[in-house]
Structure 1
């Protein structure tokens, strides 16, 4: 590896400032902060805030928290202020941050690779019940999020999490976020290569490392050796995708520059094959490029995807090899398209050792602490004590003997956690939404649960795979642009001329089989009240007009706009 020293005041050669000097790139010698976020990070590393939380804020309470820590650096330890109850979505863009802030926090627990032991899951459940009013949402990045957290309780929460090997370090912030991994790594019969060692080494090197704790924006990583492509590699900043090189054997195909939000871009292949033992080195190289060359002037252009778009994959690979790795990477093949649309591992599946893993579906990722404790009990009684989360807001219990499967699935069903969900329960995803998120305009979690129940009642025979993703704002935490039906929360005008909560509709997005972004339906805005009727209408049209074997994505691309309204 080349010099990876990150600090603006470090003794390192400064390259001649080029035409991108105005973007605030450190590589151009431009270390002067160009916005408030960059100034806050320069003033003090976000990792340093934990000491203040434990020694000052936990004792002095919410009112003792410095504003720059409250709305900035505390994210480096997984903490966001949540939305003050009772504030409507119409006020989101109107009120100042301090008016939106509640005195409670969302706390995100990072779960790299989605890997949990039952001991860890039980502690998460206990924290949920004691400190988070029972909340514990499974995210589509394999994390768990609590709400209603008090700053006074953080030292004890950290003590309990870290006592079982869990962390909130850099679960948020301008840092390397959680590392996505296949939830069936090491056990799947069809696995190309087990990426677990790479995830562990990446985590060891970068999490909490001040060399990478001041990036231009968040940085998202995915590693999977599953042929199902089960970690949404196309929309991560860097992804390592399992492939078999014709001469070198199993390894990973390298992708960079994916991301959604208001300017979505699919990641691009660099054409490079990376062996398992080299993944962490290459990851550090890509993170270092982002740190040094990433745009820091405008926050909405500070993601890696903009640099990759400007450079192109050839230049990005050249810089990676020549300036950071100091060697060339082998050329390699692209991953094959997955054989199936569902990539969530729900249901009962045989492992390579003859045992089974069992995937089940909470509704829109919403569970509670008591239920998590019961899941831990079931996993210990029926398996080896290993549990996994997925990028689809689902969970798995591993290592179940065949004769134990029926008992486990029955017990899960008694908790409302079915292993044979309807397509709607399986395919509906929702972000945090108006209930807790300060950016949200509409409610999403309960809306998603209502959609599931309504569509199960109205369309009981519908069995085609379809994803319906609800997002409370334009930021696409729920991946609306790559869903069959993506619903972006916004204010819309109803028939009475009133501004109410509703959704802009995107149709036909997908990942995996044919990755691409959904089309906006011109002039279509659906109120929250009208949503079940609209979804029933468009799904019935699909059922009537589809050709044999045609997926929703394919139909939506060719259908007349009238059928989409």
Structure 2
């Protein structure tokens, strides 16, 4: 597929913060929905068996879970506008049970969709320039990015432009529709890895070169699941013009050599390890060298045309906004605590990015009601140029908030149950839906996440503990990213009973590491108690401002294992 098809012109003004669809995109979605409507009708009539229907529904993001169908909606690079958020609220209200679940792929899932309602739900999405294509199946899934892209003070390059280029390149790519296994790409433009780039099939870290032109470090072969592996760096200096060609070369090597005889050995991480990083790199470079590079060249004019289809916020002058925020924080202790945990430095003077926690004490991580989705859309219009981001940590971001309006926003969020001040604390838990919904799961993730959230609900205790990433997966597929957590919890089947195994020492950031198994699995309540003992040991043994992860790496596994299993 050449790069010449990436850009189409359209006279419509782009929405702020995201790529603007044109009529070609919209006509395509309409045709796709009508095709699927016919397929659904034939499935309901019995003209199609479930086996025949399965690949068709997966192409449209529809899963069959334990109790119902689940629709997974794509949120490219985690960016939405308020109109799209209202469309999601409408689907939750009209076609589900009044809520949606944000995932670690920056998507949203609806867990109670009726098959006969699916085409109508897809129509609601299409009206808002959204879809569910390639959110499932052995293809390139939703490209994820930094939730603070285009706003972060530490950002070197805005990754959304190249994420959109990759989205257009990969969507319905004829060579990569039936890969050996699903394929995930993440891209960041900050030296601080907020996308877990090293745990992706391909992870990209962008930076400006000496001449200002973008360069990319390319990580390949990372992943979690049954075989957690930190990806290897193939290139540190890939020029922008070669981005599409080089990624295509990687995918071609994977398509040719990746295993298709064993689903557990089919991911690219297994191929990289089997060949060895050096041999894999040689094969990619050979494929890359043999390609018609001119045909795949990502010309600066293409990048410019794509970037022009993103709306840019018109930031107001600072005009005392910083001083106003400082004064408000000095007189409101609760507000000050929320600002310390739930905001991120912005590149524009007088602005700040806000992380809205979807993890209230005792709540279900990542869930939001239809009313909350509508409220977030309203608040985005009022406070953040109508723009919303979804994080891979199952929270939501309002990216561009005036600092002198921050207290007003906080009060509105808090009144709606969205003001929890726990970002990066122990109660900011990642959890997959687990056995409550998923047919693959061995154990329920939600109840234990709720118990842990309640156990550590005291905000004073959370602040004392400091940064601590706690993730929970209901099975070895690791949708809760437990391997990449400081404390990871994995649900297992122990002689027909639900049990939980603890891992320690994982990280999904630039110091990426795979969590180590602590010992035998335990019951749900024993696991909650074990986490408490782990935290107590950390508080007793940490030095200075060490994070939990730092203390674990310094002390080693044995000390933590003793405190958990000595009481058994």
TM-score range normalised by the length of the shorter chain? 0.7 to 0.9
Maintained 8 Å contact 2:145/2:195: yes
**Please, which moves more after superposition, 122-131 or 52-61?**
52-61
Relative to 1, partners in 2 of residues 1:545 and 1:289: Cα closer, same or farther, differing over 3 Å? Answer: same
Q: Which residue in the other structure is 1:14 paired with?
A: none
Tell me the distance in 2 between the aligned counterparts of 1:64 and 1:526.
Answer: 47
Q: 1:347 aligns with which of 342, 345, 348?
A: 342
3-state DSSP class of the match of 1:83? coil
Q: Which residue in the other structure is 1:503 paired with?
A: 500
What CA deviation, in whole Å up to 9, does each residue of 1:308-367 have, x standing for no partner?
A: 1122333333322322354799xxxxxxxxxxxxxxx96223422222221111021111
3-state DSSP class of the match of 1:189? coil
Q: 2:61 aligns with which of 72, 78, 85?
A: 78
Residue 121 (structure 1) shift:
0.7
Q: Which residue in the other structure is 1:534 paired with?
A: 530
- Say yes or no: does 1:512 pair with 2:509: yes
TM-score normalised by the chain length of structure 1: 0.79
Residue 301 (structure 1) shift:
0.6
Q: Which residue in the other structure is 2:541 paired with?
A: 545
- Say yes or no: does 1:556 pair with 2:549: no
Q: Which residue in the other structure is 1:341 paired with?
A: none
Maintained 8 Å contact 2:186/2:200: yes
RMSD: 2.6
TM-score normalised by the chain length of structure 2: 0.79
Maintained 8 Å contact 2:530/2:564: no
What CA deviation, in whole Å up to 9, does each residue of 1:12-53 have, x standing for no partner?
A: xxxxxxxxxxxxxxxxxxxxxxxxxxxxxxxxxxxx997664
Higher strand share: 1
3-state DSSP class of the match of 2:219? strand
Tell me the distance in 2 between the aligned counterparts of 1:564 and 1:490.
Answer: 18
What CA deviation, in whole Å up to 9, does each residue of 1:101-137 have, x standing for no partner?
A: xxx2111111111010110011011101100111311
Higher helix share: 2
In the TM superposition, 1:181-196 aligns within 5 A as: 181-196=145-160
**Please, which moves more after superposition, 441-450 or 144-153?**
441-450
3-state DSSP class of the match of 1:529? helix
Residue 429 (structure 1) shift:
0.9
Q: Which residue in the other structure is 1:158 paired with?
A: 122
Tell me the distance in 1 between the aligned counterparts of 2:420 and 2:148.
Answer: 16
Number of aligned positions between the proteins? 481
In the TM superposition, 1:421-460 aligns within 5 A as: 421=422, 424=425, 427-457=428-458, 459=461
Q: Which residue in the other structure is 1:467 paired with?
A: 469
**Please, which moves more after superposition, 131-140 or 58-67?**
58-67
Q: Which residue in the other structure is 1:479 paired with?
A: 481
Tell me the distance in 1 between the aligned counterparts of 2:242 and 2:92.
Answer: 38
Q: Unpaired segments of 5 or more residues in structure 2?
A: 3-30, 297-339, 360-364
Q: Unpaired segments of 5 or more residues in structure 1?
A: 3-47, 85-103, 330-344, 494-498
Tell me the distance in 2 between the aligned counterparts of 1:467 and 1:63.
Answer: 47
Q: Which residue in the other structure is 1:280 paired with?
A: 244
Residue 489 (structure 1) shift:
0.4
Tell me the distance in 1 between the aligned counterparts of 2:56 and 2:256.
Answer: 20
Tell me the distance in 2 between the aligned counterparts of 1:153 and 1:185.
Answer: 35
Tell me the distance in 2 between the aligned counterparts of 1:147 and 1:351.
Answer: 35
Tell me the distance in 2 between the aligned counterparts of 1:408 and 1:59.
Answer: 49
- Say yes or no: does 1:214 pair with 2:211: no
Tell me the distance in 2 between the aligned counterparts of 1:511 and 1:460.
Answer: 21
Relative to 1, partners in 2 of residues 1:191 and 1:67: Cα closer, same or farther, differing over 3 Å? Answer: same
